[in-house]
Amino acid sequence: MNSTILASNHFASLQRMVVTVFLLMLVAVIVFSLSYGQVILGGERLLAAVLDPSGDPVASQIVRDIRLPRVLTGLIAGAALGISGVLMQALFRNPMADAWSLGLLAGGQLGVSLIVTAAAFAGPAALAFLTAFQGIGLTSGAILGVAVFAVLMAGLSRRVSNITLLVVGLMLGFTVQGLVSIVMHFASRVGGRVYSGWNDGTFASTEISDVAVMLLPIGLGLVLAIVSAKGLSAMLLGETYARSMGTDVKRLRWLTLSAVVLLVAPVTAYCGPVTFIGLIVPHFARAMVRTSQILPLLPIAALCGALLALSADAIVHLPWEQHFLHLNAILALVGAPVVIAILLASPSLRGRI
């Protein structure tokens, strides 16, 4: 009895410690990202830019208009992808599942590109409308695309093995990349800003008003994620046990998929396909709090995702000689070896290859 309570206290204190450390690291990366770049701002200029915009208009413009939206976007996108990874891996009972690896991000890309193309063909009025309501239009396109692909993959997951599903998801990703690139070729003149840097993930193409549009669906997705956490914990023992312990599995499946769609679609719409974060963050989070129960994992995965996204983005935007680096290149350098290590260490996956 006492040892039980003691253990749960120990667990809570471990979690608090991890959260504190993550928050500190996150603050450090945020400050670093706001001050370093092509123009390097010292602490004083950074403070002045934030607190007193009129005092140093150049610094203020750099920080407020360029770096702050980018940092906020990375923060939100990273957290959303991290949480969606936890949800996907629990729902699909597949340690390699995530919105990118199962092709959901590709679905979102396809949705956005189809909306833009349709608008382009419908004529300048439709395009003007889309430009005016760009955020909402693109986000709905992405939501539609991600939702369709999510339902398809969820249906398929009940018929094929984990590895097959993964390969199908990655192939869907390649197919959509090809399609989008062709669509871009024909629609790039009209699509304009919509496609800037779109085959690569980036947090840099948002304005501060876009961040607000992103937050709404992601906030809703977060609520659904929290609601489905208890049922997903039961699903760790498999569907039969989950049902026998009172989980309405059908409802849970819809709830979780909706959460994933709402979390991931805005990220796709504004940042393009951001790879690896949703895939590896849940593994870091589980290792750090030493549990795979879903609810305590969610805040850790959010923090860990935000930290990874911002760190990668900070590297991308270091004052390099010429261009910026590619976000997905950095993420692949970190992510791919981690995935290989997980594959080789996981008995269930290794056995099936």
Partner 1 sequence: MLEVMNVAAGYPGPRGAVLANLNLTLRPGAFICVIGRNGAGKSTLLRTISGLQKPLGGRVCLHNVNIHEMTAQLRAQRISVVTTERVSSPGLRVRDVINLGRQPYTNWRGHLSGTDYEVIADAMRTVDVLKFANQPFDSLSDGERQRVMIARALAQDTDVMVLDEITAFLDLPGRVEVMSLLRTHAHTMGKIVLLSSHDLELSLELADRLWIVDEGKVKAGIAEDGVILQAIANAFDTKNVRFEPAIRQFRLRDQPLEAL
Largest CA distance in the chain: 71
- Site for partner 1, residues 202 to 221, rule: CB under 8 A: none
The answer to whether 81 and 266 have CB atoms below 8 angstroms apart is no
Least Cβ distance, residue 278 to partner 1 (angstroms): 17
Residues 6+ apart with CB under 8 A from 342: 95, 96, 280, 283, 349
233 scored as a contact of partner 1 (CB under 8 A): yes
247 scored as a contact of partner 1 (CB under 8 A): yes
346 scored as a contact of partner 1 (CB under 8 A): yes
240 scored as a contact of partner 1 (CB under 8 A): yes
Residue with Cβ nearer partner 1 (117 or 293):
293
Residues 6+ apart with CB under 8 A from 144: 111
Residue with Cβ nearer partner 1 (29 or 229):
229
9 scored as a contact of partner 1 (CB under 8 A): no
Q: Where are the alpha helices (DSSP H) in 36-66?
A: 43-51, 57-61
- Site for partner 1, residues 287 to 316, rule: CB under 8 A: 290-293, 295
As a whole number of angstroms, the distance between CA 71 and CA 68 comes to 5
Q: How many residues bind partner 1 (CB under 8 A)?
A: 33
Stretch that binds partner 1, among 178-186, 245-253, 321-329, 330-338 (CB under 8 A): 245-253
Amino acid (one-letter) located at 156:
L
Residue with Cβ nearer partner 1 (89 or 275):
89
End-to-end CA distance of the chain: 44
Distances (CA, A) of 15 to 75, 87, 292, 299, 301: 20, 19, 13, 10, 12
Residue with Cβ nearer partner 1 (155 or 246):
246
Residues lying near partner 1 in the complex (CB under 8 A) are found at: 1, 3-5, 7-8, 95, 226-227, 229-230, 233-234, 236-238, 240-241, 243-248, 286, 290-293, 295, 346-348
